[in-house]
Amino acid sequence: MQICIKTVRCMAFTFTEIVVATAVMVIIFLALFSGIAYGLTEVQLSRENLRATQILLERMEGIRLYTFDQLVSSNMFAGSFTATYYPLAMTNQSSQGIVYYGEFAISDPQTGTDYNANLRTITASVTWTNTYLSKQITRNRQMQTIVGRYGIQNYSFFN
C-alpha cells in the first residue's frame, strides 16, 4: 500500500511493519474473545451457585413447617430431594437442565450444654454436575441451622 503526497516521493509500509501490526491485532482479538468467554463462564457458574442457594433456602424455610417431633422422630421429614433448573425451559420442554441432588442430615448440636436433647442441628446440602471446558465438574453447597423444641429463642437469649 502506498501513500503518495503531491511531491514526487511516495511512502509505503514495509512487509515487516504489516506482519507486526497483524500480530498485534491477532493478540488483541484473542485477548478480547478469551475475556468474553471467561466472563460468560463466570456468569454461568454464578447462576448455578445462586440457584443452589435458592434451593437450600427454600428447603430450610420448609423446615419451619414441621414440629420438633416431626423433624426428629418421624418419617414425615424427607431426607433427600431433587430439583431441576433450566433457564430456557419455555423454548424446549424436553430437557430438564441441571439437576440438583440434595439431602438433609439431622444431628445433635455440639453445644456442650444440658439442653442438647431439645436442640438439633440440621444440615442441608445440594450437589450438581456441570460441564466446564468439556470436563464434568461436581459442585456442592451446604447450609446449616439449629432447631429448638420450643423455639430457638428460649435457648439463645438469657434474661
Indicate the residue type of 127: T
For 25-62, what is each residue's pLDDT tens digit? 999 999 999 999 999 988 988 999 999 999 999 988 88
Contact assessment for residue 43 and residue 86, using Cβ atoms and an 8 Å cutoff: no
Question: Measured in whole angstroms, how far is the alpha carbon of residue 61 from the centre of its chain?
Answer: 19
Residue ranges per structural domain of the chain: 12-156
Which of 87-125 are b and which e, b meaning 16 or more Cβ less than 10 Å from the residue's Cβ? Answer: eeeeeeeeeeebebebebeeeebeeeeeeeebbbbbebb
Residues of the chain with pLDDT under 70: 1-11, 74, 76, 87-96, 152-159
Predicted TM-score (pTM) of this structure: 0.71
C-alpha cell at 121: 442441628
C-alpha cell at 142: 451446604
